[in-house]
């Protein structure tokens, strides 16, 4: 992005196209270049445009606002299908929650980026195939492969969202990093909205209870589920229309949590060694162990992909140490699942966890090696971002295999 901005600095139309394709990445790259562009009138105009301290919340164009309202209404309607058509909720929501969350977002970005017909057809076809496949699986909650398919479908749909988010931008790793940043911002804003919604819900239910009306069930069915379905799309619309809204919050959270998570991991590993609990014989403990691993890895990736690609040595050092400790945690988890396979044989769950652990370990080692080079000032942090971006499709491929092929390989 930096080289494109520098090359096309005197081409306003091309700069505007770069900006509209990925506003966050454009602003980051432009601000990095700004000290070298002193005296350039075009750069000064863009500086005012990008960094003007405007406190107003923008709601986009009327067309865009109406599009979001319609898409959110459709998502809310789909979320109410169990009630409208007497569908078993335990059957419907585990299989279709991914579509309620990610498909409206994918439609929004496909429309916003004006995807060409070929990519649009792929997006629509992949979504329809996923809908049909997951809902045709037998209603067998005890089946490991069905549960795995439902869980990994989340990552498949998330991948399709990333495909729509990327649009036509090249090189492809640039929008992937922007996509990770967007996910971090989305989680922050959704959490704020959820807290506000919880407070409003508590006050509303309390007020009705004070006059003798118990509305908990009705409120959750009509307001709670509907609101939850609309929140991701509304939050996305706000982020895209107002990049400054949470752009400064996410990196602050990452900076606070990285050292805290590092300390927690070190203490946890020590406590595990002396506490008698281990993931080798305790299945539930191994599950918690892997969930913790995924969460820590996400914090590392979001920190690397944060809005500020220039980090001081302290921040980079903390991320590097966190990556190193996470590699150790991953090795323990991987050895535990190999032990369980050797002792009790192959199952779909064990194969799925084994594959995920191997992929995560390879990725973490690659990232850790690059981070060491950053600490030694051999390469910029942006090189680590490229490593993270290039590896994302491998996770998506594994999610596809578990979702669609495991039921055929292991049976249902």
Rounded mean pLDDT, 188-202: 91
Task: Look at 244 and 9; give whichever has higher pLDDT.
Answer: 9
Domain assignment present for residue 56? The answer is no
Torsion sign over Cα 290, 293, 294, 295: positive
Structure tokens at 66: 């109406």
Cα angle for residues 240, 243, 244 (degrees, 5° grid)? 150
End-to-end CA distance of the chain: 47
**DSSP 8-state symbol, 11:** -
Most confident of 53-57, 280-284, 295-299: 295-299
Q: Which of these, 151, 157, 134, 121, lies nearest to 396 by C-alpha position? A: 157
Q: Which residue has the tokens 């399709």?
A: 160
Instruction: Give the SS3 label for residue 404.
Output: helix
Confidence of residue 276 (pLDDT cuts 50, 70, 90): low
Domain assignment present for residue 196? The answer is yes
Query: Is the pLDDT reported for residue 332 higher than 80?
Result: yes
Could you tell me if 108 and 234 lie in one domain?
yes
Could you tell me if 191 and 287 lie in one domain?
no
To the nearest whole percent, how much of the chain has pLDDT over 70?
A: 91
Could you tell me if 330 and 293 lie in one domain?
yes
Rounded mean pLDDT, 301-305: 78
Structure tokens at 140: 């067998």
Name the domain boundary from 215, 241, 267.
Answer: 241
Q: Which residue has the tokens 């505007």?
A: 16
Query: Is the pLDDT reported for residue 129 higher than 90?
Result: yes
Q: Which of these, 282, 396, 406, 292, lies nearest to 347 by C-alpha position? A: 406
pLDDT of residue 55: 55
Could you tell me if 234 and 290 lie in one domain?
no
Could you tell me if 230 and 307 lie in one domain?
no
Query: Is the pLDDT reported for residue 168 higher than 70?
Result: no
> What is the rounded distance in angstroms from the CA atom of residue 183 to the CA atom of residue 54?
23
- What is the domain extent for residue 9? 2-51
Backbone conformation region of residue 52, classed left if phi is above 0, alpha if psi is from -120 to 50, else beta: beta
Q: Which of these, 322, 324, 330, lies nearest to 303 by C-alpha position? A: 322
CB atoms within 10 A of CB 58: 13
Could you tell me if 339 and 378 lie in one domain?
yes
Confidence of residue 404 (pLDDT cuts 50, 70, 90): very high
> What is the rounded distance in angstroms from the CA atom of residue 91 to the CA atom of residue 150?
11
Q: Which residue has the tokens 């700004």?
A: 34
Domain assignment present for residue 293? The answer is yes
Could you tell me if 72 and 33 lie in one domain?
no
Could you tell me if 17 and 71 lie in one domain?
no
Could you tell me if 21 and 86 lie in one domain?
no
Query: Is the pLDDT reported for residue 75 higher than 90?
Result: yes
pTM of the predicted protein model: 0.81
> How far is residue 126 from each of residues 91, 103, 109, 134, 166, measured CA to CA in Å?
21, 11, 16, 12, 16
Domain assignment present for residue 57? The answer is no
374-408 in b/e burial notation, b at 16+ Cβ within 10 A?
beeeeeebbebbbbbbebbeebbebbbebbbebbe
Q: Which residue has the tokens 């900006």?
A: 19
Confidence of residue 359 (pLDDT cuts 50, 70, 90): very high
Domain assignment present for residue 203? The answer is yes
> What is the rounded distance in angstroms from the CA atom of residue 401 to the CA atom of residue 144?
15
- Total domains in the fold of the chain: 3
pLDDT tens-place string over residues 217-241: 889 888 888 889 999 999 999 888 8
> What is the rounded distance in angstroms from the CA atom of residue 295 to the CA atom of residue 318?
16
> How far is residue 107 from each of residues 111, 312, 329, measured CA to CA in Å?
6, 38, 38
* Cβ 100 vs Cβ 72: under 8 Å: no
> What is the rounded distance in angstroms from the CA atom of residue 232 to the CA atom of residue 275?
40
Secondary structure percentages of the chain, helix, strand, coil, to 5: 80, 0, 20
Structure tokens at 275: 């506490």
* Cβ 115 vs Cβ 162: under 8 Å: no
> What is the rounded distance in angstroms from the CA atom of residue 366 to the CA atom of residue 327?
10
> What is the rounded distance in angstroms from the CA atom of residue 265 to the CA atom of residue 149?
30
> What is the rounded distance in angstroms from the CA atom of residue 180 to the CA atom of residue 158?
11
Query: Is the pLDDT reported for residue 277 higher than 60?
Result: yes
């Amino acid at each position: 992005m930096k080289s494109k901005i520098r090359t096309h600095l005197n081409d306003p139309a091309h700069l505007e196209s770069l900006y509209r394709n990925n506003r966050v990445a454009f602003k980051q790259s432009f601000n990095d270049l700004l000290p070298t562009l002193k005296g350039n009138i075009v750069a000064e105009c863009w500086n005012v445009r990008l960094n003007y301290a405007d406190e107003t919340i923008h709601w986009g164009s009327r067309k865009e606002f109406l599009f979001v309202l319609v898409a959110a209404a459709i998502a809310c309607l789909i979320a109410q299908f169990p009630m409208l058509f007497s569908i078993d909720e335990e059957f419907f929501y585990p299989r279709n929650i991914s579509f309620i969350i990610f498909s409206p977002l994918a439609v929004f970005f496909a429309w916003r980026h004006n995807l060409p017909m070929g990519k649009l057809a792929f997006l629509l076809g992949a979504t329809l195939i996923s809908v049909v496949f997951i809902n045709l699986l037998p209603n067998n909650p005890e089946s490991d492969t069905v549960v795995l398919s439902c869980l990994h479908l989340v990552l498949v749909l998330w991948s399709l969202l990333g495909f729509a988010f990327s649009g036509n931008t090249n090189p492809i790793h640039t929008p992937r990093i922007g996509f990770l940043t967007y996910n971090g911002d989305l989680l922050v804003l959704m959490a704020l909205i959820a807290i506000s919604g919880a407070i409003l819900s508590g006050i509303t239910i309390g007020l009705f209870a004070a006059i003798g009306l118990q509305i908990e069930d009705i409120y959750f069915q009509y307001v709670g589920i509907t609101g939850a379905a609309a929140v991701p799309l509304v939050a996305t619309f706000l982020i895209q229309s107002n990049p400054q809204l949470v752009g400064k919050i996410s990196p602050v959270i990452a900076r606070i949590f990285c050292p805290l998570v590092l300390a927690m991991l070190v203490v946890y590993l020590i406590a595990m060694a002396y506490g008698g609990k281990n993931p080798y014989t305790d299945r539930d403990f191994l599950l918690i162990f892997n969930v913790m691993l995924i969460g820590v890895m996400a914090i590392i990736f979001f920190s690397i992909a944060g809005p500020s690609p220039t980090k001081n040595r302290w921040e980079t050092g903390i991320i590097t140490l966190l990556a190193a400790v996470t590699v150790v945690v991953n090795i323990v988890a991987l050895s535990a699942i190999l032990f369980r396979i050797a002792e009790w044989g192959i199952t779909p769950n064990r194969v799925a966890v084994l594959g995920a652990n191997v992929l995560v370990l390879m990725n973490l080692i690659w990232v850790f090696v690059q981070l060491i080079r950053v600490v030694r000032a051999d390469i910029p942090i942006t090189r680590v971002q490229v490593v993270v971006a290039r590896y994302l499709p491998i996770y998506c491929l594994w999610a596809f295999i578990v979702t669609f092929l495991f039921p055929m390989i292991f049976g249902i």
